[in-house]
């Protein structure tokens, strides 16, 4: 990515959360789940063996127990999916494979409701992890599938569930927790299931977002980058340089300062893109860089150059 594009992307970090969405985390990009709100496609029963647009396969029996109905979670349009099951005939949806980066952070979320109060439900929202060859990620002490919520019990009102997924910090111990991304995972399939429960469940607003963990953990670096006005300084310097004869001492100093500013900006951008586990492990590097960004000498050097040129 070009520096200017990366800067634009950084500027968007702060205001990147969709307003209608209840997400608690800064995210990069949009929803990785296609038609997670079930607004694409017609209202009515989903024919046996078929799935709503964007989804891969009906789970379990494929007996046509799915329907798109006129109801929606807050801020999630006008449609949702209803899953009607019995105690021995489960149903649900599997999503297509979605590529992920196991060194980054994600959030999986969704809204669920039932027809009324119940002691328990079979409503589950989760995912299954897959490796580079499309194989299910199995570990000696944990399964390849984990849940945002299992046996959800929201009652008749829509309830929002979300789970922050972080890289497994102990990839060699043969297990990953439910909220950890197995180190060998390269893709996931979202699951929304009504498993062996005699009743109807409703799902809407299913989301999977890349979380900007760097922005979450170190918002100061973005602020320092903005506060340093590096772009404005570089623009001023370039204008100065354009007005100077190429072989003067002033031009040489302006070029050197420009190179220094570019290098500093590149370091700051690289810092903001670091893998999550590195962020967690290294507490000292970023504050040092922020100090450098905040160093007032940039402005003094530029002013001196401009005075000398003027
Ligand atoms: Ca919807
Ligand atoms: Ca582990």
User: Is residue 40 pLDDT above 90, yes or no?
Assistant: yes
Q: Among residues of the chain, what percentage have pLDDT more than 70? A: 85
Q: Which residues surround ligand 2, an ion (CB under 5 A)?
A: 168, 170, 173, 176
Mean pLDDT, the chain, integer = 85
Q: What is the C-alpha separation between 168 and 185, in angstroms, rounded? A: 10
Q: Which two tokens stand for residue 178?
A: 């439910």
Q: Are 151 and 123 in contact (CB under 8 A)?
A: yes
Q: Which residue has the higher pLDDT, 37 or 6?
A: 37
Q: What is the C-alpha separation between 87 and 73, in angstroms, rounded? A: 26
* Residue 218 pLDDT: 61
User: Is residue 160 pLDDT above 60, yes or no?
Assistant: yes
Instruction: Compute, in angstroms, the gap from residue 272 CA to the centroid of ligand 2.
Output: 25
Per 3-state DSSP, the chain is made up of helix, strand and coil in percentages (nearest 5) of 30, 25, 45
Q: How far, in Å, are 136, 144, 184, 189 from residue 131 at the CA level?
A: 6, 10, 6, 11
Instruction: Compute, in angstroms, the gap from residue 77 CA to the centroid of ligand 1.
Output: 4
Give the ligand whose atoms come closest to the C-alpha of residue 175: 2
Instruction: Compute, in angstroms, the gap from residue 171 CA to the centroid of ligand 2.
Output: 5
Mean per-residue pLDDT, 290-308: 73
Q: How far, in Å, are 168, 259, 304 from residue 105 at the CA level?
A: 10, 33, 44
* Residue 82 pLDDT: 98
Q: What is the C-alpha separation between 306 and 297, in angstroms, rounded? A: 14
* Residue 113 pLDDT: 97
* Residue 26 pLDDT: 81
Task: Locate all alpha helices (DSSP H) within 146-296, ordered by sequence.
Answer: 213-217, 219-227, 230-243, 249-272, 276-281, 285-293
Q: What is the C-alpha separation between 310 and 306, in angstroms, rounded? A: 6
Instruction: Compute, in angstroms, the gap from residue 94 CA to the centroid of ligand 1.
Output: 17
Give the ligand whose atoms come closest to the C-alpha of residue 170: 2
Q: What is the pTM of this model?
A: 0.69
Instruction: Compute, in angstroms, the gap from residue 96 CA to the centroid of ligand 2.
Output: 26
Instruction: Compute, in angstroms, the gap from residue 261 CA to the centroid of ligand 2.
Output: 40
Give the ligand whose atoms come closest to the C-alpha of residue 71: 1
Instruction: Compute, in angstroms, the gap from residue 206 CA to the centroid of ligand 1.
Output: 9
| Cα–Cα nearest to 93, from 199, 201, 166, 209 | 201
* Residue 179 pLDDT: 94
Instruction: Compute, in angstroms, the gap from residue 72 CA to the centroid of ligand 1.
Output: 5
| Cα–Cα nearest to 216, from 17, 68, 21 | 17
Instruction: Compute, in angstroms, the gap from residue 204 CA to the centroid of ligand 1.
Output: 5
Q: List pLDDT tens digits, range 51-70.
A: 999 999 999 977 889 999 99
Mean per-residue pLDDT, 203-209: 97
Give the ligand whose atoms come closest to the C-alpha of residue 74: 1
Give the ligand whose atoms come closest to the C-alpha of residue 182: 2
* Residue 254 pLDDT: 83
Residue 37 pLDDT level (bands cut at 50, 70, 90): very high
Q: Which two tokens stand for residue 70?
A: 């006129």
22, HSE (Cβ side, Cα atoms, 13 Å): 17
The fold adopted by the segment(s) 18-211 is Jelly Rolls (2.60.120)
Q: List pLDDT tens digits, range 74-117.
A: 999 999 999 999 999 999 999 999 999 999 999 999 999 999 98
Helix, strand, or coil (residue 104): coil
DSSP state of 121: -
Q: What is the C-alpha separation between 245 and 296, in angstroms, rounded? A: 28
Instruction: Compute, in angstroms, the gap from residue 194 CA to the centroid of ligand 2.
Output: 29
Residue 19 pLDDT level (bands cut at 50, 70, 90): very low
Give the ligand whose atoms come closest to the C-alpha of residue 158: 1
Q: Among residues of the chain, what percentage have pLDDT more than 90? A: 51
Helix, strand, or coil (residue 95): coil
* Residue 2 pLDDT: 42
Indicate the domain borders of the chain. 18-211, 215-309
* Residue 83 pLDDT: 97
Neighbour-count burial for 154-188, b at 16+ CB within 10 Å, e otherwise: beeebebbbbebbbbeebeeeebeeebbbbbbbbb
Q: List pLDDT tens digits, range 165-194.
A: 999 989 999 999 999 999 999 999 999 999
**Mean pLDDT lowest for which of 117-131, 141-155, 234-248, 275-289?**
275-289
Mean per-residue pLDDT, 6-24: 43
Q: Which residue has the higher pLDDT, 242 or 147?
A: 147
Instruction: Compute, in angstroms, the gap from residue 85 CA to the centroid of ligand 1.
Output: 21
Mean per-residue pLDDT, 241-268: 83
User: Is residue 289 pLDDT above 90, yes or no?
Assistant: no
Mean per-residue pLDDT, 5-27: 48
* Residue 310 pLDDT: 56
Instruction: Compute, in angstroms, the gap from residue 205 CA to the centroid of ligand 2.
Output: 30
| Cα–Cα nearest to 13, from 163, 262, 211 | 211
């Amino acid at each position: 990515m070009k520096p200017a594009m990366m800067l634009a992307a950084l500027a968007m970090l702060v205001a990147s959360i969709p307003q209608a969405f209840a997400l608690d985390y800064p995210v990069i990009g949009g929803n990785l789940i296609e038609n997670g709100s079930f607004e694409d496609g017609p209202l009515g029963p989903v024919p046996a063996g078929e799935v709503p647009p964007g989804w891969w396969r009906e789970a379990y029996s494929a007996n046509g127990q799915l329907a798109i109905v006129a109801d929606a979670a807050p801020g999630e349009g006008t449609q949702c999916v209803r899953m009607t099951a019995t105690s021995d005939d489960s149903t649900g949806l599997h999503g297509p494979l979605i590529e992920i980066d196991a060194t980054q952070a994600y959030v999986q979320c969704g809204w669920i409701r039932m027809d009324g109060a119940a002691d328990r439900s079979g409503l589950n929202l989760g995912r299954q992890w897959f490796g580079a060859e499309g194989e299910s990620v199995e570990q000696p002490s944990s399964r390849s599938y984990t849940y945002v919520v299992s046996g959800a019990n929201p009652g008749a009102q829509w309830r929002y569930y979300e789970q922050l997924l972080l890289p497994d910090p102990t990839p060699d111990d043969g297990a990953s927790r439910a909220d950890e991304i197995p180190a060998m995972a390269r893709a996931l399939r979202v699951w929304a299931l009504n498993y062996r429960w005699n009743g109807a469940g409703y799902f809407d607003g299913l989301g999977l977002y890349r979380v900007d963990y760097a922005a979450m953990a170190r918002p100061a670096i973005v602020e320092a980058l903005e506060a340093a006005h590096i772009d404005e300084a570089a623009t001023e310097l370039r204008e100065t340089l354009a007005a100077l004869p190429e072989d003067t001492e002033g031009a040489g100093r302006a070029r050197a300062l420009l190179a220094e500013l570019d290098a500093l900006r590149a370091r700051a951008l690289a810092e903001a893109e670091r893998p999550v586990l590195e962020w967690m492990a290294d507490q000292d590097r970023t504050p040092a860089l922020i100090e450098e960004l905040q160093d007032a000498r940039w402005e003094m050097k530029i002013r001196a150059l401009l005075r000398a040129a003027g």
